[in-house]
Amino acid sequence: MAGRDLTRAAAEALDAADPLAGFRERFAIADEQLIYLDGNSLGRLPLATRDRLAALAAEWGERLVSGWHDWIDAPRRAGDLVADLVGARPGEVVVCDSTTVNLYKLCSAALDARGHGTLATDRDNFPTDRYVLEGLADQRGCALEILESPGVLPDALIVLSHVDYRSGALADMAAVTDAARRVGSTVVWDLCHSAGALPVQLRGAGAELAVGCTYKYLNAGPGAPAFLYVAHELHDDLRSPIWGWFGQRDQFAMERDYEPVAGVERFLAGTPTVLAVAAVEEGARVTAEAGTDRLRAKSIAQTELAIALHDAWLAALGFELGTPREPERRGSHVALRHPDAWPINRALIERAAVIPDFRGPDTIRLGVAPLYTRFVDVWDALDRLRALVERGEHREVDAARGRVT
Amino acid sequence: MAGRDLTRAAAEALDAADPLAGFRERFAIADEQLIYLDGNSLGRLPLATRDRLAALAAEWGERLVSGWHDWIDAPRRAGDLVADLVGARPGEVVVCDSTTVNLYKLCSAALDARGHGTLATDRDNFPTDRYVLEGLADQRGCALEILESPGVLPDALIVLSHVDYRSGALADMAAVTDAARRVGSTVVWDLCHSAGALPVQLRGAGAELAVGCTYKYLNAGPGAPAFLYVAHELHDDLRSPIWGWFGQRDQFAMERDYEPVAGVERFLAGTPTVLAVAAVEEGARVTAEAGTDRLRAKSIAQTELAIALHDAWLAALGFELGTPREPERRGSHVALRHPDAWPINRALIERAAVIPDFRGPDTIRLGVAPLYTRFVDVWDALDRLRALVERGEHREVDAARGRVT
């Protein structure tokens, strides 16, 4: 980055040349002064989603129960849109339930089918993933192995995040999946921090199972239903532990014993939340229109800018980069570590109109969502962060709350 | 009913005297000619819900991730509103997931805590309830007993519907719960067809566990999240099989092992679908405003009218009442059985602008939703049904589809 032009004008020039710049207009931006770098926690509202929700409420009011003729396929329809973004085939993804519930279903099914006696995940995986595995280990009397380094894989059912929720580190899905297969393991990938932000290649990597969230980079709204992926080859052998009527063959022939439907829909359980699934469709659609390759290129350029500004301005203020420097090894957020990360994060929100988020013990995450984040947003956020820490404003915030830094 | 005035004018008079008549204006009514008697499948859209969904989408757009300060309690907040309708205490109900997933969680937890070796349900219970039990029996090597008569209860974990989805028969929750306790059994009540339609008394009946749906009489929209009830006394002893971050004590202290939160929220799993849960709040609120006692009184008067008209007009046309005649033994729909039920149901929809629904093999359900169903709707629906069958119109519909009656 030596000699890189780090002026605001240079950031403006990047925006002017950005082929995705127009997508920002497709989102609700209530406050242009607010810099939102937490799309990796909750993505912004697409205007199409706002309109779709209103239309769908009207449709419910008008069509009443007959609306189900169209709604009933929503989990699969939204799933096919998501499949296209994560390198899966049509019929390999459904949108339903939460990431947690989906992870439970897939892990339970894989344990039954493959007979693994051990569960494993890496130490830094997102808590709910760990909790699901702790629960399954407890219920089934399995061992739960916490991996210090994902480089050495045990013979186990392994849950790994594609992008680490804290550091932003991006795993090599193909290499890990291959290494796992060679030791007889099954990997369930958690795509919460990669789906919609970069071109995931599930089939290309040989991945068998995955879950992911839609309310981050897929912009489907707070708590929107999640998705799950099961490679076609596994459909016949895997069964959800939760036998429900939306996974039943010939659903409305109500007198039969349970027999799961042939495809990935066997992992559906209860009635899908129609309005919420429609929001996933809209979020996936605008993402597909931009294209994950272009989103990835812009995301890399933006995280590169953030890292360059960190090096130029923040390293001297006690910050340390928590994210890999190699673009191919990181997702779409940059982790900045600082001993005062918590009060700095609060001060950014309360005094500088920048919304990052804090992840303990010492990390501020700056997420770029290339559908709507501008290069000047990255520049301004780092500039405000620098100024705030230079002035020591985070110490005032902290003192005002009576907390010890 | 001898001597009862069965004229349309009498029905109009009942509407004129109806203290709940004004509530109909609180719902979207797109077509005044359409008689909707399928609110027990999908309730109508409350106008407050339409407005709330729009407001909440705007709130997502404006507040972004900071909205979670208010949203995070939504499952409990909506749960407390539902609790009030089903005779539970605040803190005993949460709104989350689907009925299917909730039933799985509660049954699994009860099996763990109570050590039942047998699962049981009655033959006519709703399919997804049976499927969940089939799955649990398969996974745990338990017996699954199908009860021919719920009068004799085995020593088991028993799932029963409060109101039968097909016949409309209303169980005596207190008597059944008491009988179950005496043989060492645990009952999980399915309130899908009673919540919002009549004053359920969970605590009054000594009920320990229940699940229910919100998209029928609670009018929360297609596939809206369900609810679950766990009596306060059981909270400490029961654990969800799905260990997720919304059920974790001190949720955002992310480095800990799983330890469930103290209350009913331990049955939460993943991130709740905020917009959908808000629709449950709105639906429960308008229901509470009307009051379940008044709703029940009107519902009984309307099903009594439907039965009287059946007796006067339909019995001679080959219909048979499938619902108990005693008001205290039925819910809020009337089941009409007829050998040609399927084509008659189609003809009602396609030619008579009446929306009932069909449940195999021979039942037409007419659901009254006293928040918005009028007495003249009941009268007109039965009148159209009589005329249609007298003219044999259902045979034309059927022939046009090439089906054998």
Give pLDDT tens digits for A53-67.
Answer: 999 999 999 999 999
pLDDT category at A253 given cuts 50, 70, 90 is: confident
CB contact under 8 A, B222 and A30: no
| Cβ within 8 Å, pair B258-A359 | no
Between A8-16 and A292-309, two packed helices, what is the crossing angle to 10 degrees?
180
Q: Which residues pair with A230 in a beta bridge?
A: A209
CA B224: distance to chain centroid?
12
Distance separating the N- and C-terminal Cα atoms of chain A: 33
What distance in Å separates the CA atoms of residue A369 and residue A333, rounded to the nearest whole number? 9
The pair of three-digit structure tokens given for residue B389, joined into one six-digit string: 């069958």
Nearest CA in chain B to A62: B30
Give the minimum alpha-carbon distance from B347 to chain A in angstroms, rounded to a whole number.
15
Specify the pLDDT at position A398. 64
Out of B65, B223, B244, the one facing A128 most closely (by C-beta) is: B244
A46 Cβ partners below 8 Å, 6+ apart?
A26, A27, A28, A219, A282, A283, A286
Residues of A in Cβ contact (< 8 Å) with B248: 127-128, 131
- Residue B185 C-alpha, separation from nearest chain A C-alpha, in angstroms: 22
Domains detected in chain B: 8-45+291-400 (3.90.1150.10), 72-290 (3.40.640.10)
Average pLDDT for chain A: 95
| Coil/strand/helix, residue A16 | helix
**Interchain CB distance below 8 Å, B98 and A244:** yes
Q: Which band of pLDDT confidence, cut at 50, 70 and 90, is reported for residue A252?
A: confident
DSSP-based three-state secondary structure for B379: helix
Q: Which of A28, A54, A246 sits opposite B54 (nearest CB)?
A: A54
Cβ–Cβ gap B245/A270 under 8 Å: no
Confidence of residue B400 (pLDDT cuts 50, 70, 90): low
CB contact under 8 A, A257 and B134: yes
Higher pLDDT, B207 or B255: B207
**B267: nearest CA partner in chain A:** A101
Half-sphere exposure of B359 (CA within 13 A, CB side): 25
A272 within 8 A of A225, measured Cβ to Cβ: yes
d(CA A81, CA A383): 38
Determine, for residues A245 and B127 on separate chains, whether the beta-carbon distance falls below 8 Å: yes
Burial class (CB in 10 A: 0-12, 13-18, 19+), B76: buried
B95 within 8 A of A91, measured Cβ to Cβ = no
Pairing of strands A118-122, A157-161: parallel
Average of per-residue pLDDT across A297-320? 98
B345-376 confidence digits (pLDDT tens): 999 999 999 999 999 899 999 999 999 999 99
- pLDDT tens column, A260-288: 999 999 999 999 999 999 999 999 999 99
* Mean pLDDT confidence for B186-208: 98
Length of chain A: 405
- Whether B45 sits inside 8 A of A28 (CB atoms) is no
Cα–Cα distance between A105 and A109 in angstroms, integer? 6
Which is it for the CA torsion B296, B297, B298, B300, positive or negative? positive
* Listed residue (A86, A95, A90) closest to A197, CA to CA: A86
Q: For residues B302 and A149, which has the higher predicted lDDT (pLDDT)? A: B302
Residue B89 near residue A261, CB atoms below 8 Å: no
A229 with A210: CB under 8 angstroms? yes
Written as six digits, the tokens of B255 are 């480095």
Q: Is the pLDDT of residue B1 over 50?
A: no
Is residue A230 within 8 A of residue A201, CB to CB? The reply is: no
pLDDT above 80: residue B398: no
Under an 8 A CB cutoff, do B223 and A355 touch? no
Other CB atoms within 10 A of residue A242 CB? 31
Whether residue A98 and residue B97 make contact (CB cut-off 8 A), yes or no, is yes
Q: Which residues of B touch A274 (CB under 8 A)?
A: 221-223
The predicted pLDDT at position B353 comes to 97
| Residue B215 reports pLDDT greater than 90 | yes
3-state secondary structure (DSSP) of residue B91? coil
List alpha helices for B96-210, DSSP H: 99-114, 127-140, 173-182
Instruction: Measure A321 CA to nearest chain B CA, in Å.
Output: 21
Phi, psi of B403 (to 5 degrees): -100, 155
Q: Which residue of A has its CA nearest to B40?
A: A65
Q: How far is B188 from A340, CA to CA, in rounded Å?
A: 50
Other Cβ atoms within 10 Å of B70 Cβ, number: 12
Residue of B nearest to A166 (CA): B254
The closest of A198, A129, A201, A192 to A165, measured between CA atoms, is A192
Burial of B58 (0-12, 13-18, 19+ CB in 10 A): middle
In terms of CA atoms, which chain A residue is nearest residue B245? A128
Cβ-contact A116, A230 below 8 angstroms: no
Interchain pair B50, A61: CB under 8 A: yes
pTM over 0.80: yes
pLDDT in tens, B137-169: 999 999 999 998 756 789 999 999 999 999 999
- The pLDDT mean for chain B works out to 95
Q: Where are the alpha helices (DSSP H) in A115-271?
A: 127-140, 173-182
Q: What is the pLDDT of residue A123?
A: 87
What is the C-alpha separation between B39 and B372, in angstroms, rounded? Answer: 9
Structure tokens at A57: 């409420």
A44 to chain B, closest Cα gap in Å: 6
pLDDT, position B403: 45
Q: DSSP states of A115-158 as a string? A: ---EEEEETTS-HHHHHHHHHHHHHHT-EEEEES-TTS--SSEE
- For the question of residue A165 being annotated catalytic, the response is no
**Alpha-carbon separation of residue A142 from A109, A145, A187 (angstroms):** 14, 10, 16
Average pLDDT for residues B251-256, to the nearest whole number?
76
- Greater confidence (A378 vs A404) lies with A378
Encoding tokens for residue A160?
Answer: 């790994």
Q: What are phi and psi of B396, to 5 degrees?
A: -65, -45
pLDDT tens-place string over residues B122-142: 988 899 999 999 999 999 999
Calculate mean pLDDT across residues A249-258.
82
Residue given tokens 């955002």 in the structure block: B252
**pLDDT at B184 (0 to 100):** 96
CA distance B5 to chain A (A): 32
Closest in B223, B241, B270 to A139, CB measured: B241
Confidence of residue A404 (pLDDT cuts 50, 70, 90): very low
- Which residues of chain A are within 8 Å of residue B57 when distances are taken between CB atoms? 45, 49-50, 53-54, 221
Angle of CA points A29, A35, A40, to nearest 5°: 85
H/E element, A229:
strand A226-230
Mean pLDDT, rounded, for B19-34: 97
For residue A273, which of A72, A8, A52 has the smallest C-alpha distance?
A: A72
- Which of B80, B190, B340, B383 is labelled catalytic? B190
Residue B402's pLDDT is 47
The torsion region of residue A337 among left (phi > 0), alpha (psi -120 to 50) and beta comes to beta
Q: Please tell me the least confidently modeled range out of B101-105, B120-124, B191-195.
A: B120-124
Q: Is the model's pLDDT at B399 over the cut of 70? A: no
Chosen from B99, B165, B243 to mutate, greatest number of chain A CBs within 10 A: B243
